[in-house]
Amino acid sequence: MEKSPADLWRHVKSRYFLLGSVCENCGTKYFPPRVVCRKCGRNTKMKPYKFNGTGEIYSFTTIRAPADEFEEQAPYTVGLIKLDEGPIIEGHILTDESNEPIKIGTRVKVAFRKMYKEGNEGLIYYHYKFVPAPEQQKKQEKSKQKRA
């Protein structure tokens, strides 16, 4: 289904640099941004909040039967990422033979890539994606060892 330029434009900040929201009434952070805080209802006090883009893999799968518009990229790996600030979000995970096989718990960080383009004349949709962050994995393992 073709999307309108307005739809792309509305999503630029959240898709490009993980702009979400935080409810200043209770401190809960949300991605994607939303209007109403689930906990505070009418006492919602929502403000923009930029996520760092670091987190760990909560679940993942490699999709081989792609959706429309994703036929070029198939197979591709998608996952649920638990961001360090709390929320779990959906994202592509860029993984291949050059990194350690990913698993639940692998540390990741954010990258900037194309999601897809509308044919040869339409708009190009850019988006965050995640890449394994082995340097963070090492840091995390070191701090776990220290605590043990």
Q: What number of other Cβ atoms are within 10 A of residue 80's Cβ?
A: 16
The answer to the question of residue 32 lying near other proteins (CB under 8 A) is yes
Q: Which of 91, 107, 108, 130 binds other proteins (CB under 8 A)?
A: 91
The answer to the question of residue 73 lying near other proteins (CB under 8 A) is yes
Q: Which residues contact 141 (CB under 8 A, 6 or more apart)?
A: none
Helix (H) or strand (E) holding 142: helix 134-147
The answer to the question of residue 96 lying near other proteins (CB under 8 A) is yes
Site for other proteins in 36-55 (CB under 8 A): 50
The answer to the question of residue 104 lying near other proteins (CB under 8 A) is yes
The answer to the question of residue 115 lying near other proteins (CB under 8 A) is yes
Helix (H) or strand (E) holding 21: strand 19-23
127, two tokens: 């988006």
The answer to the question of residue 29 lying near other proteins (CB under 8 A) is no
Query: Burial of 79 by CB count in 10 Å (0-12 exposed, 13-18 middle, 19+ buried)?
Result: buried
Binding residues for other proteins, rule: CB under 8 A, are: 1, 11-13, 16-17, 19, 32, 50, 58-73, 76, 78-80, 87-92, 94, 96-99, 104, 111-116, 124, 126-127, 129, 135
